[in-house]
């Protein structure tokens, strides 16, 4: 569905942040000082909080900022940006690839998950919303990650019956 902990390094996460930064500000991202400091800060948060919480934190921190901020700034105050959700992997996909319908379903899911006294109907609704989001976002990630189809040349068979 989404990248696993083993498939993304701190450099990969940094490159994602760099792309988001350049897309938002139309300006090339230059690390603050030595790039190793930013990679180290990202790695510490990933090890402590998890991959998807870190990705969500970087994305939301950059999205909500009006000024050009560096990744180390977000990582040093990471507790301000990390989501408090049960499924950070799903939240990351909703943030980055979700349609307005997906975002609406996510918001409904948050209302159901955050009820103080959930009922049995709420648990059913929660499971249905999770399944709906997983199916929708799984289809989008499969389309985005699928390689282009190659045309195969068909071989003409020679007639050996003569």
Which sequence spans correspond to the domains of the chain? Answer: 7-84, 86-144
29 three-class SS: coil
pLDDT tens per residue, range 54-111: 999 999 999 999 899 898 889 888 888 888 888 999 999 999 999 999 999 999 999 9
pLDDT tens per residue, range 103-157: 999 999 999 988 888 888 999 999 999 999 999 888 777 655 544 444 444 445 5
CB atoms within 10 A of CB 156: 6
pTM of the model as a whole: 0.76
Please give the pLDDT value at position 137.
87
Cα angle 92, 97, 103; round to 5: 75
Please give the pLDDT value at position 161.
62
Please give the pLDDT value at position 2.
52
Return contacts of 71-75, CB within 8 angstroms, 24+ apart.
71/14, 71/17, 71/31, 71/38, 71/41, 71/42, 72/32, 72/37, 72/38, 72/41, 73/32, 75/38, 75/41, 75/42, 75/44, 75/45
Instruction: Indicate if the pLDDT at residue 26 is higher than 60.
Output: yes
The answer to whether 21 and 68 are in contact (CB under 8 A) is yes
Outline where the chain has alpha helix (H). 10-25, 35-49, 51-64, 71-76, 88-97, 100-113, 120-145
């Amino acid at each position: 569905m989404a990248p696993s902990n083993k498939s993304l390094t701190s450099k990969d996460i940094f490159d994602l942040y760099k792309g988001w930064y350049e897309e938002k500000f139309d300006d090339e991202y230059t690390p603050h000082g030595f790039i190793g400091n930013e990679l180290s800060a990202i790695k510490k948060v990933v090890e402590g909080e998890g991959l998807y919480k870190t990705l969500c934190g970087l994305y939301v921190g950059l999205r909500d900022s009006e000024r050009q901020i560096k990744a180390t700034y977000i990582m040093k105050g990471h507790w301000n940006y990390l989501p408090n959700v049960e499924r950070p992997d799903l939240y990351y996909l909703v943030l980055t690839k979700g349609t307005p319908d997906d975002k609406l379903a996510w918001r409904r899911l948050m209302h159901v998950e955050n009820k103080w006294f959930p009922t049995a109907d709420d648990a059913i609704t929660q499971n249905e919303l999770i399944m709906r989001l997983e199916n929708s976002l799984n289809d989008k990630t499969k389309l985005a990650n699928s390689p282009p189809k190659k045309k195969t040349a068909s071989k003409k068979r020679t007639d050996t019956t003569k």
